[in-house]
Structure 1
């Protein structure tokens, strides 16, 4: 005999609107602790909830909340991510400038991106939302939605911040990294990552977290490093890429405070990083800081990358971060970056920084390379 909860789930497909609304509303709380309740009868409640996403706004809101809460489950996320019709439902409603539940839809889309099948969104074509984008590709439309929708400029009901998590997950895949770092002909050869990186110091914590993760995951594509590292004042001794992202200022500024640098430190430092406001503050979230430091470590994978980071004086910035942030994880990440930047290259003498920390000891010590052989940087989100 079905329990009361199981009977309540059955009402999700009831013909009476009020009954569906009551059922969905009461099931929201149980979705946080009773995932299996929604997997009964071969995922029948999931099929019902997919339909409720296009129901009246209050019902759709509760249905989306339930799906968000249970989409951590492998079976559930597979049922959502592999359903082409449901994916189009999410896309059509997210890109609708009048959709009241756009933020919840964006959050659910971000959760479905954890399933490998959602890589198909990179090549998926759909109708062009005329007020949003000029591209027929879903991924471009979502990127335009994220940029134009910031601070409720596109849809007064939504800020689309959770799309940053979606892009972070898409960038876990090799073809997602390639998309993020390749100029797009339809968009005047704009590199998609440049549309994300401008939000590394955004007022929204969600945006900063997601964007930092997306940048880090994209940086796993070593062949893209010349594009990511290029800036407006390239080294004339190095061949510039055809199109550059100028990424460095956007991942270094969150690491910087208002401290002054010596002349020898600022000589060669990027223009965007000099003469900062006296009230300039560092990123307060240490996890975001660690993500940016890990991105720097990835960008130092090649000799060319390390040379660029040295030339634009990344070391003094990391040094000051180490001195001013009292978090062991951040300081360890700083250590790792400095070990890479200051280590001996082939044919060079080893260089050890002799700066002092607030306690008067040596700031950073160079470790032997084999001490960190087991350390790894992994894709996140």
Structure 2
């Protein structure tokens, strides 16, 4: 059974790795010399060179650690990343993406510029901003950690009146061509991370807003696994709210076919079995492809698992023929951890119902000693999975071409 932890997703933009040489004192002096070239009014070519130099530093852990000590430089970088009409703004924004990808830098980054989330949010949701995707990626990385994520959610709530709240973010995510210069795929992981927050889940699950219904078609978004994975992660996180399961599985949302369809292949079923499936899962074409990303397949399975937390939910999932799709997926699946997640879900669907008082699996109180035993079993399973993956990698490596 999936645990109660809400997962986050990460975005990262590679930079040219480069670690500064010399002691920290030398770098402090270098940063002091570099700072004037990052500020407004600096000569354009020198500002561009300075931004590129900082971007290169963010490509390594030691470089990020040294930059984290330079509060004024970090503030100048944040301002430059949002500067209108500035050619070096992209490199500054990419540097922020890499800095935000390092959780050890988050505290210093936000201390240097407390309004950084607001700056980035404004640029990420600006339909004319050419580097909006970099701004979204930096926000996605910042929101991986609980404290910055909560702060960002607070920023979104405060910005709702000015039109920069969650509704605007969803509009940007769900509107094709919202920004002609930026695909904004990183808004997917950003929304997934934000859905860690109860306030975000309350917004997403508000029946009057019809937000979930707008997200469901994006589970099939073929242009970007990043956006698709972010949407699936968001739906999975929302499925932790078991009080909404009846609504999610009911006709107003009908979430289950959208979770099962990416897991379905071209297999044929008997007429009797076909009648048990939702209409959208019947008579799929012979070229139907399953979700190619193993992590997304696993999140889809985990979302369905969460929907089986209550007895009515389990019955609805059974009644819609989920077992048939999962049975074929299990036969096809080659990733051990996804296969194991599939097995656990199948066991829930075909197993006996829990005893009276334990029908809601998300509310069952597990004794500490039993929890420790389960954690130990989980660790053993993970070790077995790693061993299987190593063996599979060895087998595939042995079949490769040889040089003569």
Which residue of 182, 187, 197 maps to 1:163?
Answer: 187
- Of 271, 294, 297, the residue aligned with 1:289 is 297
Is 2:142 aligned against 1:123? no
Q: Distance in 1 between matches of 2:264 and 2:280?
A: 12
Greater mean alpha carbon deviation, residues 11-20 or residues 206-215: 11-20
CA deviations over 1:30-74 (Å, ceiling 9, x no partner): 111111221224x22211111101334421101111111011344
Alpha-carbon offset, residue 337 of structure 1? 0.3
Conserved 8 A contact 2:125-2:172: yes
Following superposition of structure 1 onto structure 2, how do residues 238-253 of structure 1 map, counting pairs within 5 Å?
244-253=252-261
Q: Which runs of 5+ in 2 are unaligned?
A: 1-24, 357-369, 379-404
Match of 1:223, SS? helix
2:134 and 2:256 mapped to 1: Cα distance?
A: 32
RMSD over aligned Cα atoms: 2.6
Partner residue in 2 for 1:240? none
Instruction: Report matched runs for 1:52-201 at 5 Å.
Output: 52-55=80-83, 56-74=85-103, 76-78=105-107, 85-114=115-144, 115=148, 116-126=150-160, 136=163, 138-148=165-175, 150=176, 153-183=177-207, 189-201=208-220
Contact 1:9 1:38 in 2 (8 A): no
Cα displacement (A) at 1:311: 0.5
Q: Give the Å deviation of 1:13.
A: 2.9
Q: Which residue of 2 aligns with 1:241?
A: none
* Cα offset, 1:9, TM superposition: 3.8
Q: How does 1:1-381 map to 2 (within 5 A)?
A: 2-3=26-27, 5-6=30-31, 9-10=34-35, 11-13=37-39, 15-17=41-43, 18-33=45-60, 34-41=63-70, 43-55=71-83, 56-74=85-103, 76-78=105-107, 85-114=115-144, 115=148, 116-126=150-160, 136=163, 138-148=165-175, 150=176, 153-183=177-207, 189-203=208-222, 204-231=224-251, 244-345=252-353, 373-374=374-375
Distance 1:168 1:59 in 2: 30
- State the 1:191 CA deviation: 2.5
Q: Secondary structure at the match of 1:172?
A: coil
Which structure's residues are more often helix, by fraction? 2
Looking at structure 1, the residues matched to 372 and 287 of structure 2 have their Cα atoms a distance apart, in angstroms, of: 39
Greater relative CO (CA pairs within 8 A, separation 6+): 2
**TM-score relative to the length of structure 2:** 0.75
Residue 106 (structure 1) shift: 1.1
Q: Is the 8 A contact 2:257 2:280 kept in 1?
A: yes
Structure 1 residue ranges without an equivalent (≥5): 129-135, 184-188, 232-243, 349-368, 377-381
